[in-house]
């Protein structure tokens, strides 16, 4: 079976899709990975992926978008895939339009979090919902959602038939990279030296893009009000390819870079080590799908503070593995952080319960198996229909 995995940027392919891609190759799929060229492209090729670079904008730019559709159409005609599997909002639209033109038999869309969400204006919400609905009805054979909430939203709004909308969840390598037992003590020592951290410090960590919708400004405002010297905040991340919001990064750097308790690390590849030294992981986003970072944090025994939004509230058990706070509320963030900082027993219990939850519900390889089983089942139905049609034509 020939399958194409398509997303906008190579960073997505590297960070989120690599395990799926390796499993597809291991199970005998003929795999092509399509994304814009970027800093991870050569590394991905070095790890054995067949990467084809097609420039894909992450926002609506009609001229550029049409060029991308045409290039994708030509590529699909050349490869002749049985299955196109698309990810990320704009790339998913462009890829599905090109697939229709190229007559790709099976098109699958993974909604890592529908772009419409409760915290936007009703008009914008309705517009984006209708785009997703139209693309689903006329250009998609199967939808994977990562959250049950997104699945119910798609069913309730009649995107496609209920049996063709499957919640796969999200996961990480809970028994490998994201297992505390597999961490090298020497690496942890180096990390603490690099960040000038003491063993007695309580570490709060944010991991994500430095953009407003990730709630980084609210977190920094809340943290600054705590003002305790042995409480440190690690801000892990930067802006990525095609980012539409550079103002937030400039704002937080200019306002908070001088605070010695706030450590801006930039992008890190050793996220597992960073989370190992973390006590409280914070993700105060305005919108999410089914955030992987929360799962990584729970797997590495961190208590979690996240906003009460889609995805986050499916991962965090309020009062047991962490706390859920109001979106865009520095006051609520500060209040819950202060509770965790003051209550050592509660913090420890949340760490233990988070690890248990990650093991029970967020094993990456179970998620991947669910996807591959669904792809195989859909392909088998298509193959049987094709054979039946050929027999009918033969008569």
Q: Is a pLDDT exceeding 70 seen at residue 244?
A: no
CATH code assigned to 2-171+363-378:
3.40.50.2000
Average pLDDT over residues 109-134: 93
**Predicted confidence (pLDDT) per residue in 219-240, tens digit:** 999 999 998 989 999 999 997 6
Confidence class for position 242, pLDDT limits 50, 70, 90: low
**DSSP three-state, residue 142:** strand
Output the pLDDT for position 240: 66
Sign of the CA dihedral 374, 378, 383, 384? positive
What fold, for 180-361? Rossmann fold (3.40.50)
Q: Is a pLDDT exceeding 70 seen at residue 85?
A: yes
Compute, in degrees rounded to 10, the torsion defined by CA atoms 320, 325, 330, 332: -70
**DSSP three-state, residue 49:** coil
Instruction: Give the start-to-end residue ranges of the domains of the chain.
Output: 2-171+363-378, 180-361
**DSSP three-state, residue 36:** strand
9, 16, 53, 283 from 44: Cα distances, Å: 12, 12, 12, 28
Contact criterion met (CB below 8 Å) for 284 and 309: no
**Predicted confidence (pLDDT) per residue in 256-265, tens digit:** 988 999 999 9
């Amino acid at each position: 079976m020939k399958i194409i995995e398509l997303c906008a940027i190579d960073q997505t392919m590297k960070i989120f899709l690599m395990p799926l891609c390796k499993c597809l190759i291991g199970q005998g799929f003929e795999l092509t990975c399509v994304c814009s060229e970027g800093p991870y492209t050569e590394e991905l090729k070095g790890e054995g992926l067949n990467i084809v670079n097609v420039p894909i904008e992450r926002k609506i730019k009609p001229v550029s978008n049409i060029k991308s559709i045409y290039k994708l159409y030509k590529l699909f005609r050349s490869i002749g895939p049985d299955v196109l599997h698309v990810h990320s909002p704009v790339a998913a639209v462009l890829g599905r339009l090109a697939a229709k033109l190229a007559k790709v038999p099976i098109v699958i869309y993974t909604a890592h979090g529908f772009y419409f969400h409760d915290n936007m204006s009703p008009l914008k919400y309705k517009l984006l919902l209708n785009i997703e609905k139209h693309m689903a009805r006329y250009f998609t054979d199967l939808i994977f959602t990562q959250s049950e909430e997104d699945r119910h939203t798609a069913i309730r709004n009649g995107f496609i038939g209920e049996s063709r909308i499957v919640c796969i969840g999200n996961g990480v390598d809970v028994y490998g990279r994201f297992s505390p037992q597999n961490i090298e003590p020497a690496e942890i020592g180096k990390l603490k030296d690099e960040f000038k951290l003491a063993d007695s410090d309580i570490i709060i960590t944010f991991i994500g893009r430095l953009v407003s919708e990730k709630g980084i400004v609210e977190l920094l405002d809340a943290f600054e009000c705590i003002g305790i010297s042995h409480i440190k905040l690690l801000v892990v991340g930067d802006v990525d390819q095609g980012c539409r919001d550079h103002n937030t990064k400039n704002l937080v750097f200019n306002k908070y870079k001088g605070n010695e308790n706030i450590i801006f690390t930039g992008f890190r590849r050793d996220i597992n080590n960073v989370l190992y030294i973390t006590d409280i992981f914070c993700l105060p986003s305005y919108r999410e799908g089914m955030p992987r970072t929360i799962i990584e944090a729970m797997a590495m025994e961190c208590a979690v503070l996240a906003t009460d939004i889609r995805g986050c509230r499916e991962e965090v058990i309020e009062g047991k593995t962490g706390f859920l706070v109001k979106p865009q509320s520095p006051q609520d963030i500060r209040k819950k952080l202060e509770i965790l900082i003051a209550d050592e027993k509660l913090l420890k219990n949340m760490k233990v319960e988070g690890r248990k939850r990650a093991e029970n519900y967020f094993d990456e390889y179970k998620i991947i198996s669910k996807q591959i089983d669904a792809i195989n089942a859909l392909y088998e139905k298509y193959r049987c229909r094709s054979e039946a049609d050929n027999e009918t034509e033969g008569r």
